[in-house]
C-alpha cells in the first residue's frame, strides 16, 4: 500500500507531532470524508506500507525528526514551491526560505526522492505570464541538481475557486501553450526533467512529459525497489497516479492558499484545527460511539513483498 500523508492537508507543516506519534504507535485511523461515521484503520509498519508519500509546502517542522520514518520506510517527497506571495499563500514561507529547506531535505533523503511542484499555474493582474517565466527561471537556477524532477499543472476552474479568487484570469489555450513552451525551455536549460500531472494538454513538443506525480516507476527508482506492473487508475481526468490511501482530513490546512481545493474556507480550517489532539489516532477529534471502525485493505505493489524471517 502507498500511504499518502499530504493530499488532504499539509500534515508535515501543521501536524508533525501527530504524524510521528502515529508511526511510533504503528497505526492510524482515517475518517471517510463522504461517510463521516466510517473510520478505517491502517497499520503503519514496513510490512504493510510499500512507500510513504509526503506532499508539503514547508518541511522545516519535520526535518530534525524525519529519520524516524526514513530509517524504516521507503519514502518520496513532493515539495510545492510556487511564484505566489502571502496575498495568495498566507501561511507559506517565501521562495528563498523554501529553497533552503529543500536543500536540507536533500541532504537527508537524496535528490532522487524529491519532486519540485510548481503548481497550480494561474494568472492574475499581478501573476502574469511574464512573472511566471521570470520566477520559474530563478527557481530552476537554484533547484537544478537538487531535485529529481519538476511537476506542474494548470489551475482547474471550479466554483469554489471562482468564489475565493475573483481576481483570477481564466487561462486560454494560447496562455497555456506559451507558458508550457517557456517552462519546457527553462527546464531544459537547467537540466531539469519536467512533466505535467492532471493536465490534459499535450506539450511533449516542448520537452514536457505527460505522467503522474506519483507512479510506481518514480517510487521504485527513488528507493531502489521494484514494483509489479500495475495499471495506474488515477483519481481524476488527466491523472496517471497509482492508488494510495490518505490519512489526512479536508478543511484542516492553515496555509490559507486561495486556490486550495481541500479547504472550503480558511475559517473552517481554523475551527477544525481546534479539534486536533496530537495523541488521538485520528487527525481530527476522537472515535465516537456511533463510529464504525474497520481494518483497511493494505495490498502490496512490490514485486517481492516484505516477508517475515522464518523462526528456528
Q: What is the pLDDT of residues 29-78, one digit of tens each?
A: 999 999 999 999 999 999 999 999 999 999 999 999 999 999 999 999 99
Residue 308 has pLDDT above 50, yes or no: no
Q: Inform me whether the pLDDT recorded for 310 exceeds 70.
A: no
Is there a domain that residue 55 lies in?
yes
Round to whole Å and give the CA distance between 151 and 214: 10
Range of the domain at 131: 2-295
- pLDDT 10s digits, 265-306: 889 999 999 999 999 999 999 999 999 999 999 999 998 765
Residue 157: per-residue pLDDT: 80
Sheet order of strands, 38-43 included: 27-31, 38-43, 292-295
Three-class secondary structure of residue 209 per DSSP: strand
Residue 114 lies in a domain: yes
Within a 10 A sphere around the Cβ of 51, how many other Cβ atoms? 26
Is residue 304 situated within a structural domain? no
Q: State how many domains the chain has.
A: 1
DSSP state of 296: P
310 in any annotated domain:
no
Examine residue 306 and state whether it is found in any structural domain, yes or no.
no
Q: Which of 83-92, 225-234, 254-263, 293-302 has the lowest mean pLDDT?
A: 225-234
302 within domain boundaries: no
**Binning pLDDT at 50, 70 and 90, where does residue 232 land?**
confident
Q: Quick one: which H or E segment has residue 276?
A: none
Q: Is residue 117, in this structure, part of any structural domain at all?
A: yes
pLDDT in the model for residue 266: 86
Work out the average pLDDT over 134-145.
98
Amino acid at each position: 500500500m502507498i500511504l499518502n500523508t499530504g493530499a488532504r492537508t499539509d500534515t508535515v507543516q501543521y501536524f508533525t507531532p501527530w504524524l510521528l506519534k502515529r508511526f511510533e504507535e504503528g497505526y492510524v485511523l482515517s475518517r471517510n470524508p463522504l461517510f463521516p461515521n466510517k473510520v478505517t484503520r491502517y497499520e503503519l509498519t514496513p510490512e504493510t506500507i510499500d512507500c510513504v508519500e509526503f506532499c508539503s509546502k514547508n518541511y522545516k517542522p519535520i526535518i530534525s525528526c524525519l529519520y524516524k520514518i526514513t530509517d524504516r520506510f521507503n519514502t518520496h517527497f513532493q515539495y510545492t514551491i510556487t511564484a505566489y506571495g502571502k496575498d495568495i499563500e498566507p501561511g507559506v514561507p517565501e521562495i528563498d526560505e523554501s529553497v533552503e529547506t529543500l536543500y536540507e531535505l536533500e541532504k537527508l533523503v537524496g535528490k532522487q526522492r524529491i519532486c519540485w511542484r510548481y503548481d497550480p499555474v494561474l494568472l492574475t493582474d499581478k501573476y502574469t505570464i511574464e512573472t511566471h517565466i521570470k520566477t520559474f527561471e530563478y527557481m530552476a537556477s537554484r533547484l537544478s541538481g537538487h531535485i529529481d524532477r519538476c511537476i506542474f499543472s494548470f489551475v482547474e476552474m471550479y466554483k469554489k475557486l471562482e468564489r475565493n479568487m475573483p481576481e483570477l484570469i481564466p487561462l486560454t489555450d494560447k496562455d497555456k501553450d506559451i507558458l508550457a513552451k517557456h517552462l519546457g525551455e527553462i527546464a531544459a536549460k537547467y537540466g531539469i526533467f519536467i512533466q505535467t500531472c492532471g493536465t490534459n494538454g499535450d506539450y511533449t513538443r516542448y520537452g514536457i512529459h505527460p505522467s503522474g506525480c506519483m507512479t510506481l516507476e518514480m517510487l521504485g527508482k527513488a528507493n531502489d525497489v521494484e514494483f509489479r506492473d500495475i495499471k495506474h487508475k488515477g483519481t481524476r481526468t488527466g491523472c496517471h497516479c497509482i492508488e494510495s490511501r490518505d490519512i489526512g482530513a479536508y478543511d484542516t490546512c492553515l496555509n490559507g492558499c486561495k486556490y486550495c481545493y481541500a479547504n472550503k474556507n480558511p475559517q473552517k480550517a481554523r475551527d477544525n484545527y481546534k479539534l486536533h489532539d496530537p495523541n488521538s489516532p485520528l487527525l481530527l477529534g476522537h472515535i465516537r460511539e456511533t463510529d464504525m471502525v474497520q481494518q483497511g485493505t493494505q495490498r502490496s505493489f512490490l514485486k517481492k513483498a516484505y516477508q517475515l524471517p522464518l523462526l528456528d
